[in-house]
Chain A
């Protein structure tokens, strides 16, 4: 668990705090998204965890231990770090890049070598084909995969990710997000993920901390942020009065009504559209418009119908939001 206690950061010569009296608790094994516009303090907040930036006051605890009492190098070796430009070392091969932290941790050669293969497999790169390549021979998406593999190399319990997919094209980004979530299912790291893309935050986060001018304006689950934005700023961030954008942020699986087995039986064979749980509410609306019906069914990965989503349901979601904003 990572805990911020009244953390303040003011850069020299600045009149205001970059991070102001921040309190935050990040549960082990969850993804916490720090989201907000540039200058909101999200990156500063993240970089204080691995001491790249020192707080002006307050304390940061990892697993109950104040990080001030932990050796900086030891701390950083136990925290995976991924940045937007990947920061891969261009003069080293993919394998050598991944080997850096295990090498610092003093692992034996064989163990490092098998770890490289294991990690490349995990991020879906063929070890044989990739371990001896140089970073400049890789595409943007492949570089980011190597970046993830390198950050995981020492099997750190915590990962810090600073807009890792920000420089990728939208299709590659979406695929990387999906794959990263799949990897996280297996590895269950405590992840602090900085992004300015609210869509990414809602898709990836277990919790989302919305930051503005160095303060957390809302800290809650993605659904809660969507249905109960705590103030106009959050409202604006998730699309304001733009209902379509808001619907595009909600997943069918999150807002559907679950059906009883009897109802499922009834639904079988009806001509209504069917969407997966991961489809967005916007897809659902589009499907309703296409079929001319006021509801659609939602199915799980095994293509069994599990729920229903109707037009009133969507309307209510959008309206509830409209009232608070």
Chain B
């Protein structure tokens, strides 16, 4: 049975695993972006908090993803919930860091003009800092999402489903085709998502 025959014969399973994968990553990214943007904005108010949060998210990302998911099992069990929690934790750093640096690295002349004109700090955040930081924020979200799609494969290992299931099953059954289908589909999804978010980012940059 060649690769394409395999694809055709198993397509209902493959489709449902793909949708499951997209679902897990989508939910995780919605939470991750919401939390990451909020945290990134909040820590611009306090340097100490910024340093702590950036270090913590940095450490989170250095934990091998397989270990992070495994560590969540005793706390949250197996299934989609720990998978989503793991993905959220893992994708915080690029988002938080980019939101933070985007907001903090606005041209000082612009901020001085805004203050001198009589805008409140709140207003400056809303109408100057955040809009000007959007391209940087988007770049962080893009990196995080592509990372999330890849790491989402590991979620299969803790019973969350998704294309990772095919990769892990393929390994244990010595089925190259299953591994390849899982890997290729994840790559394709990553590339398409990256392209799409890149387009959004370019639009914001103008």
Chain A interface residues (CB < 8 Å from chain B): 47, 50, 52, 73-79, 81, 83-91, 100-101, 104, 150-151, 160
Contact = CB atoms under 8 A, between A and B. Distances in A.
Interface string B108-130: 01101111111110010000100
B131 interface: yes
A52 B115 contact: yes
A50 B117 CA distance: 9
A77 B113 contact: no
Given A89-B128, A90-B132, A91-B131, A83 B118 contact: no
A87 B109 contact: yes
Nearest to A71: B118
Contacts of B112: 52, 83, 87
A81 B116 contact: yes
- The dominant DSSP class at the B interface is helix
B109 A76 contact: no
A53 B118 CA distance: 14
A101 B128 CA distance: 14
Contacts of B107: 85, 87
B116 A76 contact: yes
Interface of B: 107, 109-110, 112-120, 123, 128, 131-132
A248 to B, nearest CB: 31
Given A78-B118, A84-B109, A91-B131, 12 more contacts: A73-B118, A77-B117, A79-B118, A81-B116, A81-B117, A83-B113, A85-B109, A88-B110, A89-B132, A90-B110, A104-B119, A151-B117
Contacts of B132: 89-91
25 contacts: A52-B115, A73-B118, A74-B118, A76-B117, A76-B118, A78-B118, A81-B113, A81-B116, A81-B117, A83-B109, A84-B109, A86-B109, A87-B107, A87-B113, A87-B116, A88-B110, A89-B128, A89-B132, A90-B110, A91-B132, A101-B117, A104-B118, A104-B119, A151-B117, A160-B116
List the 10 shortest-distance A-B pairs measured between CB atoms, nearest first: A87-B113, A76-B118, A81-B116, A77-B118, A85-B109, A87-B109, A91-B131, A87-B110, A73-B118, A81-B117
A197 B131 CA distance: 36
Contacts of A85: 107, 109
A79 B116 CA distance: 8
Contacts of B128: 89
